[in-house]
Amino acid sequence: MVKPLQLAIKRIVDLILALILALVTLPLFVVIVVAIRSDSEGPALFKQTRIGYLGRPFTMWKFRTMRLGAEREWQPPKPDEFAQYRFQDANDARITKIGLWLRKTSLDELPQLYNVIAGSMSLVGPRPEIPEMVALYTGPMHRRHQMKPGITGLAQISGRGDLTTAESITWDLNYVEHWNCWLDIKILWWTLGAVLHGQGAH
């Protein structure tokens, strides 16, 4: 059982680090916005409803990596396909040239620092899922919503987009079950290594 004091410490660390990172990366933020707008039509930022802490929906922000309106072409997996479903597809024709680079470097996730500052996300936690996928969850899977969703997490450093939905959820449940501040520190360190090696997340 996670104690309120531990969660309070996690929130303070999130806020401090996210504020620092947001300020340090602000020039890069501007460069990426210009690059996206030069590469394809549409806004540089992409917002999407995700399911967060305690199953509550919130708006998550990312840099747009696909052509405008591409999300409407996606169809959720059927229930019998759910467990083996994979989101990531490097050959997806909807991904723009700049978008492919942003995904590889994980820089498309930068705007989520502002989700962390606002309190809807944490730096580390289960990745927030879209409502259509959560609708396919069975009972125990919803335990992943007992922690705030994160920009990175155990699933992201354990295979990222190569994991099936079932594998990803297993890692998320493992994180929720065994969470402590030291685990967050290790995940952030491992994430840095994964990003430097170009292993992007979805």
Which sequence spans correspond to the domains of the chain? 4-196
Q: Please tell me the distance from the alpha carbon of residue 200 to that of residue 105, in angstroms, as a whole number.
A: 6
- The SS3 of residue 45 is strand
Residues with pLDDT less than 70, the chain = 1-2, 88-90, 160-161, 197-202
pLDDT given at position 160: 67
* Residue 115: how many other CB atoms lie within 10 Å: 25
**Is residue 133 within 8 Å of residue 175, measured between CB atoms?**
no
Q: What is the pTM of this model?
A: 0.91
User: Where does residue 5 rank: exposed (0-12), middle (13-18), buried (19+ CB within 10 A)?
Assistant: exposed
pLDDT given at position 73: 83
CB-facing half-sphere around the CA of 82: CA atoms within 13 A: 12
Of 152, 129, 153, the C-alpha closest to 77 is 129
pLDDT given at position 162: 78
pLDDT given at position 93: 84
pLDDT given at position 136: 96
pLDDT given at position 8: 92
| Single-letter residue type at 102 | L
- DSSP lists the bridge partners of residue 45 as 63
